[in-house]
Structure 1
Amino acid sequence: MPVITIETGKLEKEQKVLLVERFTKTASEILKIPEQSFIVQLKENESDNIGVGGKLLTQVIAERNSK
């Protein structure tokens, strides 16, 4: 069984549904494997656990929002 793992920040339920549906469908089409064979694992990370450009993601977001 193929496993698709996606690491991201916090997501809304609707976003999770779309990610699982679309990644499964696309991978199935490309690999010619039935959709039922795929496992999709979503790993959500807190913004304080992600670094971008030497800063915590919470800092980057705050800086973008203050502009």
Structure 2
Amino acid sequence: MEKRMPVISIEMGPTALEKKQELIQALTTAAAKILTLPEQSFVVLIKEYPLDAIGVGGQSLSHRIL
């Protein structure tokens, strides 16, 4: 049997530690079920950006929130 170590990568704005843990668990559980692999096979990477580094509609999120 082929060994796989799938990587789930998500990029988002700043998020509380508890929410990141919840997201990691939910993504891992869903992917393991769909791919029929053990949860231990998955790596989850979260890259956080400050709000001034995310733009929507020509404006940074830090500007849109203020």
Q: What is the TM-score of this pair, normalised by structure 1?
A: 0.89
Number of positions where the alignment pairs a residue of Structure 1 with one of Structure 2: 62
What's the Cα RMSD here?
Answer: 0.6
Residue identity over aligned pairs, in percent, reads 48
C-alpha deviations, 1:36-64, integer Å up to 9, x for none?
A: 000000000001110001101111112xx
Q: Return structure 1 stretches of 4+ with deviation > 4 angstroms.
A: none
Q: What is the TM-score of this pair, normalised by structure 2?
A: 0.90
| Higher share in helix | 1
Describe how 1:1-67 pairs up with structure 2 within 5 A.
1-62=5-66
Unmatched 5+ stretches in structure 2: none
C-alpha deviations, 1:17-52, integer Å up to 9, x for none?
A: 100000000000111111000000000000111000
> SS of 2:15's equivalent?
coil
